[in-house]
Amino acid sequence: EFCTARNLNKTPNDVELLGEKYVTDEWTNVTPKIIEKLGRTLHTTKYHPLSHVRQRIVNYFYGNYRNKCGNPLFSVFDNQKPVVSVHQNFDSLLIPGDHPSRSKTDCYYVNRDTLLRAHMTAHQSELISMGLNNFLVIGDVYRRDEIDATHYPVFHQVDAVRLCNNDEIFDSVNDPEGLELFENRGKESKEKQAVHSLEATKIMEHQLKRDLVGLAQVLFGKDVKCRWVDQYFPFTHPSWELEVFYNNQWLEVLGCGIMRQEILKNCGVNDRMGWAFGLGLERLAMCLYKIPDIRLFSSSDSGFLNQFKFDDPNTPVTYKPISVYPQCANDLSFWLPENSEFSPNDFYDLARDIGGDIIEQISLIDNFTHPKTNKTSHCYRIVYRHMERTLTQKEVTEIHSEISRNAAKLLNVTVR
């Protein structure tokens, strides 16, 4: 039986996450399957491929940045709670109230004010307010998204911040006399924020890009092909994405930029500017080890995990596929409700709640509106495949009909 976060728990109005109770309301859309994933901390699990990649990134920043005594400059936080406030995830980062990333169709809300973090940047302001200038913050993030080989509702990010004062930025300049971080009557342009000087922005941009290309070279080898693409984030300006050419295609691995000075000001920092980036660990690990399917990271299959049982995180590995079991595809068509909203992500979550990880992919293969009745019909193809054994048609049919029944019941669709 399909059950929502509500009726899993004793009292109908709260839900327990990592040992703490939260009141639910009409915003609640976190599902039992997602709740099960909380607290797994794969990025710090010994021998897990994500923890090897994590360690290599941490080592790179430890090695690159040392203080005068030779100690690493960056602090690492990998134990921040994934349940955060709307303020942390959005407001503190200047994300506008009507920004699409806040939508219920994209995030897992615990209630109106609380959600599972959608990016590690949610912790940025708090750590800066504590007085930190250089840090990495690493953890699991949650997004409602498509279902295929590179998308999973839980993945892991490494975020970083580096704040510098005047001396630190112009340290490498021969004659830094007269160079300043800030300027009084500046204008915002494509290249910089109004309050920043162009010189300081360009130096930070150069250091940030040099460090991140350096990281790509450490992970993928000296000859890796990289390119920078201009991007927009509400919390940085200017902003970029780094793409790496791997297996014959350009793959976006991270977003970054010069931090909005208003964020620093809100944290009580007035004499520094900063850069920040956020990267996806699964994306890097999939390329690095040639792991073909993102679901493998959360699998407990020893055939998978045993391939990463080594202590030195720099050990080169190419993943050898555990035997591949056959796929089984079934279609489901329905008319969308006429009097209520419908988002494909609602259907993806419902299907995932019932089928779990045996659902490999769901694609919308037909979207059609009847010319006379104006009713819209969607047809979804659900591909089932177990990572560890062959599924029987009977098993698949049972799950498929369960999905169909529950879609009719909970999403108000009319199955055709």
Compute the half-sphere exposure of residue 296: CA atoms within 13 Å on the CB side of its CA: 28
Question: What is the total count of residues that contact ligand FA5 (CB under 6 A)?
Answer: 23
293 binds ligand FA5 (CB under 6 A): no
Q: Could you tell me whether strands 75-77 and 134-142 are parallel, antiparallel, or unpaired per DSSP bridges? A: parallel
Spatial distance between the Cα atoms of 257 and 209, rounded to a whole number of angstroms:
9
Smallest separation, CB 170 to Mg ion (Å): 31
36 token code pair? 């099960």
Spatial distance between the Cα atoms of 180 and 392, rounded to a whole number of angstroms:
69
Instruction: Choose, by CB under 6 A, the member of 200, 256, 263, 267 that binds ligand FA5.
Output: 256
Q: Helix/strand/coil (H, E, C) string of 233-255?
A: ECCEEEEEEEEEEECCEEEEEEE
**Closer CB to ligand FA5, 298 or 333, in the complex:** 298
234 token code pair? 């509400």
Q: Which does 291 bind (CB under 5 to 8 A by kind): ligand FA5, Mg ion, none?
A: none
Question: What is the total count of residues that contact Mg ion (CB under 5 A)?
Answer: 1
116 binds ligand FA5 (CB under 6 A): no
Question: Looking at 7-15, 27-35, 167-175, 246-254, which segment touches ligand FA5 (CB under 6 A)?
Answer: 246-254
Instruction: Give 184-226 as a DSSP string.
Output: SS----SS--TTB-HHHHHHHHHHHHHHHHHHHHHHH-TT-EE
Q: Which does 14 bind (CB under 5 to 8 A by kind): ligand FA5, Mg ion, none?
A: none
**Closer CB to Mg ion, 49 or 255, in the complex:** 255
Instruction: Give 51-91 as a DSSP string.
Output: HHHHHHHHHHHHHH-B-TTS-BS-EEE----SEEEHHHHTG
Spatial distance between the Cα atoms of 104 and 127, rounded to a whole number of angstroms:
27
Q: Which does 254 bind (CB under 5 to 8 A by kind): ligand FA5, Mg ion, none?
A: ligand FA5
144 binds ligand FA5 (CB under 6 A): no
Smallest separation, CB 255 to Mg ion (Å): 5
Cβ burial, residue 324 (10 Å; 0-12/13-18/19+): exposed
- Does the bond joining 238 to the residue before it have cis omega, within 30 degrees of 0? yes
Question: Looking at 103-111, 252-260, 275-283, 397-405, which segment touches Mg ion (CB under 5 A)?
Answer: 252-260
Q: Which does 50 bind (CB under 5 to 8 A by kind): Mg ion, ligand FA5, none?
A: none
Smallest separation, CB 155 to ligand FA5 (Å): 4
Instruction: Choose, by CB under 6 A, the member of 258, 280, 342, 352 that binds ligand FA5.
Output: 280
Instruction: Choose, by CB under 6 A, the member of 90, 135, 277, 384 that binds ligand FA5.
Output: 277
Instruction: Choose, by CB under 6 A, the member of 43, 52, 102, 119 that binds ligand FA5.
Output: 119
Radius of gyration of the chain (CA): 23
Instruction: Kindly list the residues in this chain that would bind Mg ion in the complex (CB under 5 A).
Output: 255
